[in-house]
Amino acid sequence: MAKAIRHRGPDWSGNFVANDTILAHERLSIVGVDSGAQPLVNDDGTLALAVNGEIYNHRILRKGLKNPYSFKTHSDCEVIIPLYLEHGVDTPKFLDGMFSWVLFDKKENRVVAARDPIGITSFYQGWSSQTPGAVYFASELKSLHPVCDKIMNFPPGHVYDSKTNTTTRYFEPKWWDPTNVPSTPVDYKLIRESLEKSVRKRLMAEVPYGVLLSGGLDSSLVAAIAQRETQRQQELSSHPVANGVDGVSSNSGLIGIDDSNELSTASPMPQTLRLRWKWPNSSAQSIMLSLLRWKTASTPSPTSSII
C-alpha cells in the first residue's frame, strides 16, 4: 500500500507496527528536515503518529503544553503527540494548519484520525469485507483500491475514534450559521492584517518555497507579501530562510499558454518583486501532456494542494 504512493515522499519511507496496527509514511521534508522522519513515536513507544501536512502554530502549542514533554525532533507535527496526551480526541481543535493524520495509542489499542477544517490535504478511509473490523486510511485512493471494497473521502473538519467507532465534526465556526449575519461595517485594515498574517504563518518551511502567479490580484498580493516577509525575516536573522540568489529569496512560477493575457499581466511581477522565476514550456500541447499526470490524483480534487 505504501509503495503505491512512494512518489509523494522521496525523502524517507518509514513504518510502525504494534498489536494489529500498521502505520506507514512516505515523507517529503519541509520542516524539521534533518530529524522529522515518520512515523513519530514518543519515548516509551506507546504512541505513534503519521502526518501529512503542516502545523502553523506548532511553536505556540509547544510553549502552551500543560505537562512537560521530551521532543525528539524539530518537526512541526510532533506536537500532536503531547496534545493528544492532554486533550485526547479533541486534539485537532487546537491545530492551525493543513493536515491529515493517524495516531495509534498502544495502551488503549486506539486509533484516532483527523483532517483539517477545509480538507486541504487529501485523506481517504476504507474498509474490506475480507478483514471485517479493520479500518484503512491513506492520502491517495490507489493505496486503498487493491485492499478495500468500500472507500470514502474522509470529511474535512472531522475526527475518527476507533474507541467509539465514530467520526464526529470538530470544526463548527459561527459563520456557518446562516442567521449569524455580521452587523459591523467592513474593516479593511483588519482584512489586510489577516491576509498578511495568513501568508506569514505559511513561510515556516526550511526548504525553498514558491508562488504560482496567474496574473490575478490574489496571487500577486500573496507573492508581494511573501517576498516582503521573507526579506524581513532575513534582516532579523543571520541565516537566510530560503534558498535565494543575488538577493532573491523567493521563487515564482508562471503558468499559462503562450501569448495569453495571464502571462502578459503576470510576467512583470517577478521583476518588480525581485523574485527568481521560472516560465515552464506552456504551449497548448505541453499542457495537454501535463494533464495526463493528473491520473496520479485518482480523483478530482477541490483544492490545488495536490500540485
Q: Residue 141: which of 8, 305, 10, 297 has the closest Cα?
A: 297
Is there a contact between 139 and 4 (Cβ–Cβ < 8 Å)?
no
- Position 175 scores a pLDDT of 82
- Position 243 scores a pLDDT of 40
Numbered ranges of CATH 3.60.20.10 in the chain: 3-174
- The maximal CA–CA distance of the chain, rounded, in angstroms, is 61
- Specify the pairing of strand 150-153 against strand 97-105: unpaired
d(CA 244, CA 208): 8
> Predicted confidence band at 190 (pLDDT cuts at 50, 70, 90)?
very high
- Position 29 scores a pLDDT of 56
Among the four given CATH numbers 3.60.20.10, 3.40.718.10, 3.40.50.1860, 3.40.47.10, the one describing domain 3-174: 3.60.20.10
d(CA 134, CA 61): 32
CA distances from 130 to 72, 127, 135 (A): 38, 9, 11
Question: Using one digit for the tens of pLDDT, what is the confidence trace for 197-256?
Answer: 999 988 877 777 778 777 778 888 888 898 888 878 777 665 444 443 333 345 555 555
Question: Using one digit for the tens of pLDDT, what is the confidence trace for 9-42?
Answer: 566 567 888 888 988 887 565 555 565 577 999 9
d(CA 78, CA 250): 27
Strand partners, 160: 113, 167
Q: Tell the CATH topology of 188-297.
A: Rossmann fold (3.40.50)
Question: Using one digit for the tens of pLDDT, what is the confidence trace for 113-150?
Answer: 999 999 999 999 999 999 999 999 998 888 888 899 99
**% of the chain exceeding 70 in pLDDT:** 72
